[in-house]
Amino acid sequence: MALDNVSWGEERIANELLLKLGIRVSPRTVRKYMPKRPGRAPRGDQRWSTFVRNHASAIVACDFCIAVTATFRLFYVLVVIEQGSRRLLHCNVTEFPTAEWTLQQLREAIPCEHPYRFLIHDRDNIFSKELDRSITRLGIDVIETPYRSPQANSICERVIGSMRRECLDFMIPLNETHLRNIVREWVAHYNRSRPHAALGPGVPDPPPGIPVLIGNDRHRIADGRQVISKPILGGLHHEYTLVPV
């Protein structure tokens, strides 16, 4: 019974033996004969990573990070990402984050006719109960991550890390408007040009005209084409495309 039903414990098996087979044994006796699992073996129930993987296309996650301007003013950057496609749905900047401001940003990120079922966020006070109730009225279940468990929102944490390593760590914004422009330009680059290993590799919003490899001739550019580059964020990154000669 223990091998056939990985989620059953000793008490469930003891009750099954008593009610179905007429065998009366204590749960402690059942535990004595249950197979021992290795210490790091997977649990029998659905793990968090399994839930995220199974429902990735229906999950939206959000979180905040901070940025400091040249005059040492502190701003908060809200990031909203679609788990399955890794597409950044929305990104905005504010100096004074409130529940009302955050709710408005989520309304802008999530359209009326949306395919989403879950919203993941941490237990920050900005995500108030009224905010969660408003999101629930949009047909989305709110899931709060456990305390001190950033890995429960790992994809959103990862994109924030990418924003720091690829953008904010190299540029010093002068003011709120400058910071917002920097973030929006990087978000556009992230969605339409930056390769993502988790997608195969792939791009969340691939531009039209991406070349398709045919046959074994994969080490040279097709005749009649040339490579051009477009600088992003003042040359911090570049986007490369093929155009006719």
Nearest alpha-carbon partner for 152 in 27, 72, 52, 235 = 52
Quick: pLDDT tens for 12-31.
889 888 888 888 899 999 99
Distance CA 153, CA 54 (A): 15
Distance CA 176, CA 94 (A): 7
CB 203 within 8 A of CB 196: yes
Residue 233 one-letter amino acid: L
Query: Could you tell me whether strands 225-232 and 59-68 are parallel, antiparallel, or unpaired per DSSP bridges?
Result: unpaired
Quick: pLDDT tens for 182-241.
999 999 999 998 888 888 888 899 877 666 655 566 667 777 888 888 999 998 998 888
CB 97 within 8 A of CB 127: no
Q: Can you give the residue ranges of every domain in the chain?
A: 10-45, 50-199
Q: Is the dihedral of CA 214, 216, 218, 220 positive or negative?
A: negative
Q: Which helix (H) or strand (E) holds 178?
A: helix 176-192
Distance CA 185, CA 44 (A): 44
* Backbone φ, ψ for residue 7 (5° rounding): -90, 0
Here the tokens at position 63 are: 């979180």
Nearest alpha-carbon partner for 135 in 157, 153, 152, 116 = 116
Domain 50-199 has CATH 3.30.420.10: yes
* pTM reported for the whole predicted model: 0.77
Quick: pLDDT tens for 87-137.
999 999 999 999 999 999 999 999 888 999 999 999 999 999 999 999 999
